[in-house]
Amino acid sequence: MGRLADKVAIVTGAARGMGAAIARRFIEEGAWVTLTDVLPEVATTAAALGERADSKIHDVADETGWATLAESLITRHGRIDVLVNNAGILMFKDLLSTSAADLRRILDINVVGTFNGMRAVAPHMIRQHSGSIINNSSADGLHGANALSAYVASKFAVRGMTKVAALELGPHGVRVNSVHPGGINTPMANPQNLPSAQLDFAFKQFAAQRVGRPEEAAECFVFLASDESSYCMGSELAVDGGL
């Protein structure tokens, strides 16, 4: 039996990149996974993962859509064991170039989307007295970065919400933790799809001396989704190659 045998999971932003890698590893460890995304290719990604995967077109900023998604899993499986709030967007702009509209767009997906997801699944997990919510923050949510004012603000917010949710839901048997990836080669971070060897040069200041792979980040999510992390609550797990 796998480390996630028959656990029922939702992974948002799972059409490609880190979300797809997380979903793949969950299924390899025995979970049932619903992949969600606003990108239609999420259906193709799910189909390639076999019968334990299904997909939904879903905007995480849509609160009503979250309620529908959660109820559909309860109807189908009777429970929700894991939520990975992975969906997010990135915007490279310095502070003075960032408009209020830019900030609101980032917050709507990265913060409100995460907030909506936790609120949608938490009542079901409380009834079960079990569950794991994993919020994908960022290494930039730990220390900041130039030209990413809106993004960094959103990831610090995710980190803070995770701490509060862990305190509130922990007594009900629900664990809430955050993962802080940095330097991972995904379509969002590498939209030009440059070769890994070319990217490695830019990461020589990292302890790992190279760019990270989505599969490496996915292992952190497997750990936090599994019962192995039963004493992790409000934890901040960095997977950044020693940034």
Q: What is the pLDDT of residue 147?
A: 95
CB atoms within 10 A of CB 29: 17
DSSP, collapsed to helix, strand or coil, labels residue 89 as: coil
231 counts as catalytic:
no
Mean residue pLDDT across the chain: 97
Burial 215-233 (b: 16+ CB within 10 A, else e): ebbbebbbbbbbeebeebb
User: Residue 82 to residues 182, 216, 241: CA-CA distances in angstroms?
Assistant: 23, 19, 26
Rounded Cα–Cα distance for residues 60 and 74 (Å): 18
Res 222: pLDDT: 99
Whether residue 135 is predicted with pLDDT greater than 80 in this model: the reply is yes
pLDDT band at residue 235 using 50, 70 and 90 as cut-offs = very high
Predicted confidence band at 105 (pLDDT cuts at 50, 70, 90)?
Answer: very high
Q: Which two tokens stand for residue 5?
A: 């045998």
Alpha carbon distance, N-terminus to C-terminus of the chain: 35
pLDDT of 192 reads 86
- State what percent of residues in the chain have pLDDT above 90: 91
Q: Which of 151, 156, 203, 221 is catalytic?
A: 151
Across the range 139-168, mean pLDDT stands at: 97
Is 65 exposed, middle or buried (CB count within 10 Å of its CB: 0-12, 13-18, 19+)? middle
Is CATH 3.40.50.970 the classification given to domain 8-239?
no
pTM above 0.75, yes or no: yes
For the chain, which residues make up each domain, given as ranges?
A: 8-239
User: Does the structure show a pLDDT above 80 at 210?
Assistant: yes
Of 74-78, 196-200, 234-238, the least confident: 196-200
Residue 1 pLDDT > 80, yes or no?
Answer: no
**Structure confidence at residue 193 (pLDDT):** 86
Please state the rounded mean pLDDT for residues 49-60. 98
